[in-house]
Structure 1
Amino acid sequence: MLIDRIQDLVREHYVFPDIAAAIADGLDGFAVDETDGPAAAEALTAALQEVNGDRHLRVRYFPAPIAPEPDPREVIAELVRENGPGVTEVRRLPGNEGLLAIGPVIPTGEYAGPAISAALTLLQGVSPLIIDLRGCLGGVPETVSMIVSHLTGDEPVHVQDLVRRDGGVTQFWTATFVSPKVDPDIPVYVLTSARTFSGGEELAYDLQALGRAIVVGERTGGGAHPREDFELTPHLQLHVPTARSVNAVTGANWEGVGVVPDIACAAVDALDVALNHAGTDATTSGA
């Protein structure tokens, strides 16, 4: 049965075993109509998130049948074909400020690496650099660390760890070979919205924790747990968080609380607020 399979997968794979048991037990007696895929996905997601609100724990409905064991490389390639390589806008503003919009998803480095390098090459000499993550909904941790690498010095920097349920750890460090490097004296602002999520949140959180950027905008969505996907039916897929992010500076993450902006404002006003703050700082520094 569908509910039994979901309970088994959650108990076996969810990142926190004790919470996994509570989530699975909460589905006892739960019933949905599998023939109404969208409604079933919505109802199951609400039930799964009832215990601790983990927004990465969900059931997703696909109108077309889910391909069995899809090639991850083809999945990423299709994502890039649909959404681009992770850069949506590059612009030099009238005062020589630079705007780099990243999203809607940050793909693997083979796609995002050249796009980020090209964007930062076009923005060489700008001040400040403004990274717009208001529409960034997720991304690959390796690529997030690569982007951070452009904004840090020549020595490797420990960015974060992914700690799996079994205690295994994957570390993420900045790379020294990326180019161009943004001058450390150039101020960096990161714009966020309530929609900024997952990998987009990680980039904002990492730069904030390293003291490399000022975050401006809204508190983000609060999803810090990477997931694995499990096919339930030809049209329903279960997403289960299987690890937790641990920032190397704070020892914590943004799960459930979001990235808290240094300067809070409505997302729609974030660019103007960042530019005004940068102008004020420049005036004060030059006084």
Structure 2
Amino acid sequence: MKKLLVGISLLYSSITFAQKDDKAAILSDITKKIEQYYIDKDTYKKVDSLFQIESKKGSFNQLTQKEFAALLTERLRTVIKDKHFFVKYLENYTPEKQGNEKESEKLNNFHNSLENFGFEQVQRLEGNIGYINFKGFAEPKSSTKALESAMNFVANTNSLIIDLRENGGGDNGMLLLFCSYFFNNKTDLYTTYSRYNNKTELNNTQSKVSGDKYLNKKVYILTSNKTFSAGEAFAYFLQQYKLAEIIGEKTGGAANPVEHFIIDNQYLLLVPSGKITSLVSHTNWEHIGVIPDREIKVENALKAAHTEALRNILTTDTKTELSIPEIKNLINKLEQ
């Protein structure tokens, strides 16, 4: 799934009218943005040194714009060791084409709707187990109905599997809204500190949601090394509050929230500008990833979660459409 759009119309203005494909000016502008916004105020020095070394080596010569952006992303992530750095070439981008904020929001929502706002699949597995395959967090105003429909569909299941193995993250507001379905009351989850304005924001769940909350039932979250950013946050906070069991692989390890910039009317730049701090652990998953409760190969995670959910049915003597012998046969089949 392509990464969901999270509001490009709200990007900070950062347009440098350099000569087309003036890589030196582009590198200089990127360095300035990192100096002003990156969570570590001294990192720009390492970035400046990196760009000078690579320029002298001729690493950026003869590259197309797409290749240039891809190389910048790779070098920033490798040298700075922050996976939230991202540079993308914006083909045919002009400020005029972006229109006003409402038009841009409408366009973003349309593109996200083509991917059903991240909800790839919602179904009921054998044994009355709910399953949601969720691939990205789009802006909550447009995603609320899709989330509500998904949660209403699984409301009567005995337990729920949420598949985040291909979830690339997205919008913080949607993260908090989705989390709200698993907390009975409004709950403070974490703070977000932004260095560029020296402000700290408290992030919490909502006491009320438009759909049916999923409370006091087993929840299993599937993860992989591709689970990223807000996808990691969802697993991290439900695990910390003992509301879900994580099954699969350790996640990517990208916790720092980002600011978006347009460089030279050609490139989208994402700079990690803040730090998330859990109110439970007083830290986050940056560089570490979310550690599964049960670490297992990613391709086996769904079968493992389904098996555990069925075993819980037997342990708790929960009624389903299957008889006890049928449940045991299904467990044997899944374990083969």
Give the alignment's TM-score, normalised by structure 1.
0.91
CA distance in structure 2 between the aligned counterparts of 1:93 and 1:122, rounded to whole angstroms: 12
Q: Summarize the Cα distance change of 1:66–1:171 in structure 2 as closer, same or farther, 3 Å threshold.
A: farther
Alignment of 1:136-147 (within 5 A): 136-147=167-178
1:248-259 to 2 correspondences below 5 Å: 248-259=279-290
1:194 aligns with 2:225: yes
**Would you say the 8 A contact 1:7–1:25 is kept in 2?**
no
1:157 to 178, 187, 202: 187
CA 1:94/1:286 → structure 2, altered by over 3 Å: closer, same or farther? closer
* Offset from partner CA, 1:127-182 (integer Å, 9 cap, x none): 211111112111211111111111111x2101222110143112111111214443
Aligned residues of 1:10 and 1:24 also touching (Cα < 8 A): no
Determine the C-alpha separation between the residues in 1 that align with 2:290 and 2:194.
Answer: 22
Q: Which amino acid aligns with 2:237?
A: D
Greater Cα offset, 50-59 or 127-136: 50-59
Q: Which residue number in structure 1 is paired with residue 70 of structure 2?
A: 42
The Cα of 1:66 is off from its aligned counterpart by: 5.2
Structure-2 change in CA distance of 1:74 and 1:184 (3 Å): closer
3-state SS, counterpart of residue 172 of structure 1: strand
Change (3 A) 1:67 1:256: farther
From 97, 118, 129, the equivalent of 2:129 is 97
| CA 1:53–1:88: 2 relative to 1, 3 Å | same
Structure 2: how far apart are the matches of 1:272 and 1:181?
Answer: 26
Residue identity in the other structure for 1:41: A
Give the match for residue 326 of structure 2: none
Distance 2:201 2:172 in 1: 10
- 1:285 to partner: Cα distance: 4.2
Amino acid in the other structure paired with 1:98: G
8 Å CA contact retained: 2:32, 2:44: no
Distance 1:101 1:148 in 2: 15
CA distance in 1, matches of 2:114, 2:77: 29
Point out the more displaced range, 174-183 or 135-144: 174-183
Aligned residue number for residue 84 of structure 1: 116
2:13 maps to none
Secondary structure in 2 aligned to 1:85?
Answer: helix
Q: How does 1:1-287 map to 2 (within 5 A)?
A: 1-31=25-55, 32-33=60-61, 36-65=64-93, 67=95, 70=98, 71=101, 73-74=105-106, 76-103=108-135, 105-153=136-184, 155-165=185-195, 166-286=197-317
Give the counterpart letter for 1:43 in structure 2.
L
Unaligned runs of 5+ in 1: none
Code of the residue aligned with 2:149 in structure 1: it is A
CA distance in 2, matches of 1:66, 1:216: 44
Change (3 A) 1:182 1:140: same
C-alpha distance in structure 2 between counterparts of 1:9 and 1:146, whole Å: 30
Q: CA RMSD in A?
A: 2.2
Specify the structure having the higher radius of gyration (Cα). 2
Gaps of 5+ in 2: 1-24, 319-336
Deviation at 1:78, TM superposition (A): 3.9
Identity across aligned pairs (percent)?
Answer: 26
Give the whole-Å Cα distance in 2 for the aligned partners of 1:50 and 1:87.
Answer: 31
- After TM superposition, the score normalised by the length of structure 2 is 0.78
Flag the 1:18–1:174 CA change in 2: closer, same or farther, 3 A: same
Large movers: runs of 4+ above 6 Å: none
Q: Which moved more, 1:219-228 or 1:48-57?
A: 48-57
- Residue type of the partner of 1:171? L
* Structure 2: distance between partners of 1:210 and 1:34: 51
Residues 34 and 173 of structure 1: is their aligned pair in 2 closer, same or farther, counting only changes over 3 Å? farther
Secondary structure in structure 1 of the residue aligned to 2:166: coil
Query: Which shows bigger deviation, 141-150 or 172-181?
Result: 172-181
Q: In 2 relative to 1, CA 25–231 (structure 1 residues): closer, same or farther, beyond 3 Å?
A: same
Distance 1:173 1:260 in 2: 23
Deviation at residue 28 of structure 1 after TM alignment: 2.4
State the number of aligned residues. Answer: 285
Q: Secondary structure at the match of 2:253?
A: coil
How far residue 91 of structure 1 moved from its aligned partner, in angstroms, is 0.3
